[in-house]
Amino acid sequence: MNLSSLPKTVQKPKKRIGRGYGSGRGGHSATRGTKGQKSRNRIGLFFEGTKIKKSLIKRLPLFRGKGKFKSWKPVPLPVNLKYLNIFEKNGEVTRDTLKSRGILPKDLPFETKVKILGDGEIGVPLSVFLPTSKKAREKIEKAGGKVIVPAKTLEEKPPAKGKKDGKKVTKKRTKLSEGK
């Protein structure tokens, strides 16, 4: 083993300017130059150098009115279980059969999503080819039916960052996790 050819294992930390003389870049002006706005504080990202000209943020149009914070995501059209009792035994529930039975409007656009919700009871075993809520799925299977949904609609959302099984996950800080 040759001590002069060992790999480098220590990385010097970044110098933090203006944190006192011990930091190596402290003292009078701390690499910021002498006087002026840039030597005293940080300039905001959208600062454009003058008060007379309107800043970029002020020039952008506002979205005003009641729907300001409303989600733009498409909301599926809900269909309750109690309306599916008109189907015959072992019938198939699709968008087309719902339209033909008058549960959905005939002129419903193809892009509109439909979801079966669990309000009411169902006494007929059916094969449902639409997305359903958990409660609706349970009731349909209890009645002897089955829910057959394409793979795309079954994809669940990943758990939120920092959460596992609905519980908040906290990490303990250790010297190993800090990289020291």
Residue 153 pLDDT > 70: no
**pLDDT tier for residue 168 given thresholds of 50, 70 and 90:** low
pTM reported for the whole predicted model = 0.49
Percentage of residues in the chain with pLDDT exceeding 70?
Answer: 81
CATH class entry, domain 77-151:
alpha beta
- Domain segments of the chain: what residues? 77-151
Q: Which pLDDT score, from 0 to 100, does residue 155 have?
A: 47
Q: Which pLDDT score, from 0 to 100, does residue 69 have?
A: 85
Cβ distance 78 to 115 under 8 Å? yes
Q: Quick one: average pLDDT of 141-148?
A: 93
3-state SS, residue 62: coil
Distance CA 176, CA 32 (A): 35
Q: Summarize pLDDT for 13-61 with one digit per residue, the tens.
A: 788 888 888 888 888 888 888 888 888 888 887 777 766 677 777 777 8
How far, CA to CA in Å, does 97 sit from each of 93, 113, 172? 6, 15, 55
Q: Summarize pLDDT for 88-128 with one digit per residue, the tens.
A: 999 999 999 999 999 999 998 888 899 999 999 998 999 99
